[in-house]
Amino acid sequence: MGYFINELFGEKLLLIAGPCVIESEEHVMMMAGELKDISDRVGVKLVFKASFDKANRTSVSSYRGPGLEQGLKILSRVKQKYDLPVLSDVHEVSQVEEAAQVLDILQIPAFLSRQTDLIVAAGKTGKIVNIKKAQFSAPEDLKNAVEKVYSTGNKQVCLTERGVSFGYNRLVVDMRALPIMRSFGVPVIFDGTHSVQEPGGLGKTTGGDRRFVPYLCRAAVATGIDGLFLEVHDDPDRAKSDGPNMVKLAELEQLLKTLTEIDRVVRSAGCHRDTEALRKM
């Protein structure tokens, strides 16, 4: 069966982290080992993330990953060697059953968060389903996505905020979305790296500005969230996907120390319970 949602989300922040896309088995294994060491030192639970296929790349010539079969083999080796839960995106109903044999969390990409058949298929696996809020969606819209998973009898759902379109090639984050989505009774994750993307901003590739990741993450943690989603790379400027917005591996530990301290203060003050009032409205 794998992990249950209450095993991952609890009294501390959950970290979902890894490179945007699987670049090679060697790179994935190195990153998983480094991220595990960092998360152990900081004291956070880690879910390793890497996409086996980036179906939403800007250009037809962009690198997409090794594909479903090879990608799942690599992620399976991460699980076996490092005893970590793993997450990756599913883009089509046909991928779901095979992906569920390996993945602990099935992620619905933001641009597919209204695709009923895909969400229902993911729900039917019984696995945790992480639905990323679309750049064009209001936070209230995600309640319907949660109910699609619930319709299968699966209550293991979490939601991820990753910014809202603000004109062309720019995203902004409305922090009100985080408590609104938590009021649905599901864990909420903040994606600090995709929120600084500039989709298509470099013509044939997506731009971004990783300098703003710490600022947005500090603000998000202060609202009272359950997890952080951060794409991390040892050399982002040479990454095959999403380089401009990924966190540098060398800078991750200090960032996490700051964020976990903010989270400790927020939880000790009882701010995570604030969403109870929103549920009653």
- Strands of the chain (E only): list them: 14-18, 45-49, 86-89, 105-108, 128-132, 157-161, 164-165, 171-172, 188-191, 197-198, 207-208, 227-233, 247-248
**Per-residue pLDDT at 240 exceeds 80:** yes
CATH number of the 5-279 domain: 3.20.20.70
Query: Distance (Å, rounded) from C-alpha 21 to C-alpha 65?
Result: 6
pLDDT, one tens digit per residue, over 164-216 is 998 887 899 999 999 999 999 999 999 999 999 887 655 555 667 899 999 99
Nearest to 138 by CA among 108, 114, 104: 114
Q: Which of the pair, 57 or 147, is modelled with greater confidence?
A: 147
DSSP H helices in 125-183? 142-150, 177-182
pLDDT band at 270 (very low <50, low <70, confident <90, very high): confident
Q: Determine the average pLDDT of the residues in 249-275.
A: 91
CA atoms within 13 A on the CB side of 200: 8
The DSSP bridge pattern shows strands 207-208 and 227-233 to be unpaired
Contacts of 54 (CB under 8 A, 6+ apart): 20, 21, 62, 63, 64, 65, 89, 241
Task: Give the start-to-end residue ranges of the domains of the chain.
Answer: 5-279
The answer to whether the Cα torsion of 105, 111, 112, 115 is positive or negative is: positive
Tokens found for residue 271: 């701010």
